[in-house]
Amino acid sequence: MSSLHITIIQSALHWENKSANLNSFEEKINSINGKNEIVVLPEMFSTGFTMQPELFAETMDGETTQWMRRIAKEKKIILTGGVIIKEDENYYNRLLWVLPNGIIYHYDKRHLFAYAGEDKKYNAGNKKIIISVNDWKISPLICYDLRFPVWSRRTKENDYDLIIYVANWPERRNQAWKTLLQARAIENQSYVVGVNRVGDDGHGVYHSGDSAVINPMGEVLYSKTKEEDIFTIQLEKETVNQIREKLPFQKDGDDFHIEI
């Protein structure tokens, strides 16, 4: 069974400053040593969680996507993180999954954070994606999606071994972040990787990071609070298979269909 080497970059963000953020993340990525297959950046990593998409949105051939393509090619990695994208006069909080060959897959955030007015500025996505990497199936989601277990649920049609959440999740609700990451791992018998930012945003809202890696039993393998950090971990597919075979809980679950 295959291993998967994944790197989390927990970073402070320069508020609404693309060039500063791209330069900062390039330096951090260049510092990574050793075997690595996937590098994960936070939600809206080039701008912060801004409600001004009309000023900062890009097309799928924009500055940030071209930067991601270049980095993925040069480093021979999969690079993923959240970016503001404009399509057909609509704005999306979009996760980009960029392969070394330049191919990009994407996921649009389904659950928009109405508490901050995100639903007034952005369009919600309407489908999940499952991405294959070697023998692994990976489900990438964004921040507030974490609060909705039905959307995150592993099913026969949406089966995966690892779920990744990229986020701008504030410290004042970090207990929910940490608890729900563990819950998603336990109920889906899946690895969970949560990548959050640190520091204050442009509104003075503090983010404590608390990025984490959790195994399919809900055990925390890594967590970092209040500091920038670059962390690489090796995940084992055999761990997923053994837990699901020993504890075949999914067969007792409910069948359901999500209406969009």
Q: What's the chain's average pLDDT?
A: 97
Q: What percent of the chain has pLDDT over 70?
A: 100
pLDDT, tens digit (0-9, with 9 covering 90-100), for 148-160? 999 999 998 899 9
43 catalytic per annotation: yes
- Report whether pLDDT(2) > 70: yes
Q: Which of 28, 37, 58, 109 is catalytic?
A: 109
DSSP bridge pairs for 202: none
Distances (CA, A) of 8 to 28, 116, 154, 257: 11, 26, 23, 32
pLDDT, tens digit (0-9, with 9 covering 90-100), for 179-211? 999 999 999 999 999 999 999 999 999 999 999
pLDDT, tens digit (0-9, with 9 covering 90-100), for 63-92? 999 999 999 999 999 999 999 999 999 999
Under the banding of pLDDT at 50, 70 and 90, the label for residue 256 is: confident
Give the span between the Cα atoms of 193 and 164, in whole angstroms. Answer: 5
Fold observed for domain 3-252: Nitrilase/N-carbamoyl-D-aminoacid amidohydrolase (3.60.110)
- Looking at residue 260, its pLDDT comes to 78
Under the banding of pLDDT at 50, 70 and 90, the label for residue 52 is: very high
Q: Which of 18, 118, 128, 143 is catalytic?
A: 143
Name the region of 197 (left: φ>0; alpha: ψ -120 to 50; beta: rest). beta
Residues 51-58 have a mean pLDDT of 98
- Report whether pLDDT(1) > 70: no
- Report whether pLDDT(100) > 70: yes
pLDDT, tens digit (0-9, with 9 covering 90-100), for 114-146? 999 999 999 999 999 999 999 999 999 999 999
Buried b (16+ CB within 10 A) or exposed e, 127-165: ebbbbebeebbbbbbbbbbbeeeeebbbbeebebbbbbb
- Looking at residue 255, its pLDDT comes to 85
Domains of the chain by residue range: 3-252
Q: Which of 18, 37, 43, 237 is catalytic?
A: 43
46 touches 20 (CB < 8 A): no
Give the span between the Cα atoms of 168 and 154, in whole angstroms. Answer: 24
Residues 111-115 have a mean pLDDT of 98
